[in-house]
């Protein structure tokens, strides 16, 4: 049996497969190693994943994860999984590799992730051949749920958002100005709070101020990520992630206005990863 994982900062999708048969689908928290210390990652996976698994007789684990871009972080995730599955071969890859495989397979192109965070890469058909560095939500993550949430929230707190949007936000979240600041500066993971506001944005797309904020977030992603690749106009640009999926129309508008050729837009790369790994057996 093979266990496949696609892990973002908020959510991890797991598939347990045997040959071409899907035995189980599981959803847990996101396991970005940047947010965990010591044995915290091992303990969380043990609590969330193991009780749900129908079998622990796993021969191989393919883990594609946000934050798995350095040897240190990959080793941290691999160590956590080895402690829980000592008889399994464990392979750790960056979530960009997973996205590219799911979106482009053996085709050349640019693969993008727009979820809680954002990232992109140039895929040469076999590997990630170029990557504009993703510097996280404090310095970048343009186009992500976190980035959209921060733009919406900043406008609300600074009094730049329409009164209708401001009042709706405070009523919806049962917060006021002071409590919002507590949620931001008193939390160890404020990015999750920011990202949750993207759902609020999706429910208010009939408001032009919200629509413009979301579209500007996508334009910022295009300027700071896609346009940094040489000859980006020649390649098919594909997207995966909840933000790309649920804001698809605005994303396509932004891409068209910037002269981009778009390809697949999917919510989650796990289906493409299943197809790839089931064919490798």
Parent domain of 59:
2-97+270-280
Average pLDDT over residues 232-250: 95
- What average pLDDT score do residues 154-178 get? 90
At 281 the pLDDT is: 59
The domain tally of the chain equals 1
Alpha carbons 118 and 6: distance in angstroms, whole number: 15
**pLDDT confidence of residue 61:** 95
pLDDT at 100: 95
pLDDT at 139 exceeding the cut of 70: no
* CA–CA dist 166, 177 (Å, integer): 10
Q: What is the pLDDT of residues 5-61, one digit of tens each?
A: 999 777 899 999 988 889 999 999 888 888 777 678 888 889 999 999 988 789 999
Q: What are the tens digits of pLDDT across the range 216-229?
A: 999 999 999 999 99
Share of the chain above pLDDT 70, in %: 96
Q: How far apart are CA 267 and CA 197, in angstroms?
A: 18
* 179 band by pLDDT with thresholds 50, 70 and 90: confident
Q: 108 near 124, Cβ under 8 Å?
A: yes
Whether residue 136 is predicted with pLDDT greater than 80 in this model: the reply is no
Half-sphere exposure of 90 (CA within 13 A, CB side): 19
Whether residue 249 lies inside any domain: the answer is no
Average pLDDT, stretch 175-196? Answer: 80
Residue 91 located in a structural domain: yes
Q: What's the pLDDT band for 235 if we cut at 50, 70, 90?
A: very high
| Residue 264, in any domain of the structure | no
Residue 137 has pLDDT above 70, yes or no: no
Q: Is 162 part of any domain?
A: no
Query: Within its chain, how far is the Cα of 247 from the centroid?
Result: 14
Choose among 105, 103, 100: nearest CA to 129. 100
Greater model confidence, 102 or 41: 102
Task: Give the burial string for 161-178 (b: 16+ CB within 10 Å, else e).
Answer: beeebbebbeeeeeeeee
C-alpha–C-alpha distance, residues 226 and 269, integer Å: 20
pLDDT for the residue numbered 56 = 78
CATH code, domain carrying 93: 3.30.420.40
Q: What is the mean pLDDT of the chain?
A: 89
pLDDT of 112-121, one tens digit each?
A: 999 888 899 9
pTM for the full model?
0.81
Is 247 inside a domain boundary? Answer: no
Which residue is listed with tokens 């000859």?
231
Which segments of 19-98 are extended strands (E)?
A: 21-29, 60-65, 89-94
């Amino acid at each position: 049996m093979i266990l496949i994982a696609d892990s973002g900062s908020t959510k991890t999708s797991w598939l347990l497969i045997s040959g071409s048969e899907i035995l189980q689908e599981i959803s847990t928290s996101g396991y970005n190693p940047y947010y965990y210390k010591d044995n915290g990652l091992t303990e969380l996976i043990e609590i969330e994943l193991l009780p749900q698994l129908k079998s622990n007789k796993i021969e191989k684990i393919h883990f594609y994860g946000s934050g798995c871009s350095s040897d240190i972080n990959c080793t941290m995730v691999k160590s956590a999984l080895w402690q829980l599955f000592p008889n399994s071969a464990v392979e750790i890859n960056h979530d960009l590799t997973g996205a590219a495989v799911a979106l482009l397979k053996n085709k050349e192109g640019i693969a993008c992730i727009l979820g809680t965070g954002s990232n992109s890469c140039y895929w040469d058909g076999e590997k990630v051949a170029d990557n504009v560095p993703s510097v996280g939500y404090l310095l970048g993550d343009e186009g992500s749920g976190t980035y959209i949430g921060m733009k919406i929230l900043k406008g609300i707190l600074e009094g730049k958002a329409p009164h209708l949007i401001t009042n709706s936000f405070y009523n919806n979240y049962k917060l006021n100005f002071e409590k919002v600041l507590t949620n931001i500066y008193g939390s160890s993971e404020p990015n999750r709070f920011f990202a949750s506001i993207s759902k609020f944005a999706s429910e208010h797309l009939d408001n032009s101020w919200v629509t413009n904020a979301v579209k500007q977030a996508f334009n910022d992603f295009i300027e700071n990520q896609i346009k940094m690749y040489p000859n980006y106009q020649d390649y098919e640009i594909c997207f995966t992630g909840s933000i790309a999926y649920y804001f698809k129309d605005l994303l396509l508008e932004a891409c068209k206005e910037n002269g981009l050729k778009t390809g697949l837009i999917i919510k989650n790369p796990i289906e493409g990863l299943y197809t790839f790994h089931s064919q490798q057996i």
